[in-house]
Amino acid sequence: MEPKMNSKQENIWDLNSKWWFENVENGNFPEYSEIIVPLSSKLFLERERILDVGTGSGILARNIANNSPTHVIGLDLSLEQLLNAVAQDRDGIYIQSDSCKLPFGSNTFDGVVASMVLEHVESLQDAVSEISRVLQPNGLFLTILNHPIFQCPGSGLVEDYEVGINNPQWGVGDYLTESSGIEEISEGIRIPFEHRTISTYINTFVQHGFRIKRVLEPKIMGRESDILGGNIPRLLVIISEMTAFEII
C-alpha cells in the first residue's frame, strides 16, 4: 500500500463517487444483489429505526426502507456520495457527518448497518464507540467488511499459473501487520484502506458491549470465483447485538 493520506482533507470519496455509483448501482459487484442487499433487508425487517453508516449511494438505506415500514437514515462523510443517494431516493433522509461523531442522541436506533465502511474509517474505536452509544439495548449491528484475510494488503489472485498444469491460487498477503494506506482498487481509483485483523474487529465490538450473534463468510463471486471455483470468501459479515448493560 502507498503511504497514508488524510481521506477527509482529500475528499477522496467525493473524487471516487462517480465510479462507486456506477459500479454498485449497475450491479457490477454481484455480492450486493446476491448477499448484501437481501441480507440487510431481511435482518432489519422487524426493526423501526435504522442508521446506515457510510451509506455511499444509499443502496442499503433505500432497500431496507422499501422492504418494511422501517425509518432509515443514511449517513456519509462525502457530499458527492450523498447527492447520488438523494437522486435515487428523493423521500429518503441522508445526513452528511462523520461516523466517529454521530449527530444523534444515545439509544436512538434499534439497528445499525455499516457495509464496506469500517475498513475505510481511521479510528475503529471511535466509530464503534459511537455506534454502540446510538444503539438501544438489544439493537442489531450488521457489519460487512472486505474479508480481512483474503483482501489484506498483498492478497490476490496469483496470476502465473498454467491452465492444466497447476490450479489458480489466491495468495494471502501481510495479514497480521495492521496498516493504513491508499489502495488502487481499479485504474485511477485510489481508496483509503485500514487493514485490521479479524480479532481486532471482534475484540473492539466486544469491548464496546456487543454480543456476537453470527459470523458469515460467503463464497467469492464474479471473475475470481469463475477462476478459483469459489473456494474462498470475499466478505466477512458480523452480526452482533448491543448488550443491555454497559461493559466499559
Binding site for ligand SAM (CB under 6 A): 13, 24, 54-56, 59-60, 76-78, 81, 98-100, 115-117, 120-121
Q: How far is the CB of 109 from ligand SAM (least distance, A)?
A: 15
Tell me whether residue 13 or residue 210 sits nearer to ligand SAM (CB atom). 13
Distances (CA, A) of 192 to 7, 88, 198: 6, 26, 19
Q: How far is the CB of 114 from ligand SAM (least distance, A)?
A: 7
Tell me whether residue 29 or residue 205 sits nearer to ligand SAM (CB atom). 29
Residues 6+ apart with CB under 8 A from 171: 154, 155, 156, 157, 158
CB 193 within 8 A of CB 124: no
- The cell numbers describing 168, all together, are 489458480
Q: How far is the CB of 99 from ligand SAM (least distance, A)?
A: 4
- The cell numbers describing 246, all together, are 454497559
36: left (phi over 0), alpha (psi -120 to 50) or beta: alpha
Shortest-Cβ-distance residue relative to ligand SAM: 56
Tell me whether residue 86 or residue 227 sits nearer to ligand SAM (CB atom). 86
Q: How far is the CB of 26 from ligand SAM (least distance, A)?
A: 13
- The cell numbers describing 215, all together, are 459470523
Tell me whether residue 73 or residue 77 sits nearer to ligand SAM (CB atom). 77
Q: How far is the CB of 76 from ligand SAM (least distance, A)?
A: 5
Q: How far is the CB of 135 from ligand SAM (least distance, A)?
A: 16
Q: Where are the alpha helices (DSSP H) in 26-109?
A: 30-31, 37-43, 59-66, 79-88
Of 53, 60, 160, nearest in space to 114 by CA: 53
Tell me whether residue 89 or residue 98 sits nearer to ligand SAM (CB atom). 98
Tell me whether residue 113 or residue 232 sits nearer to ligand SAM (CB atom). 113
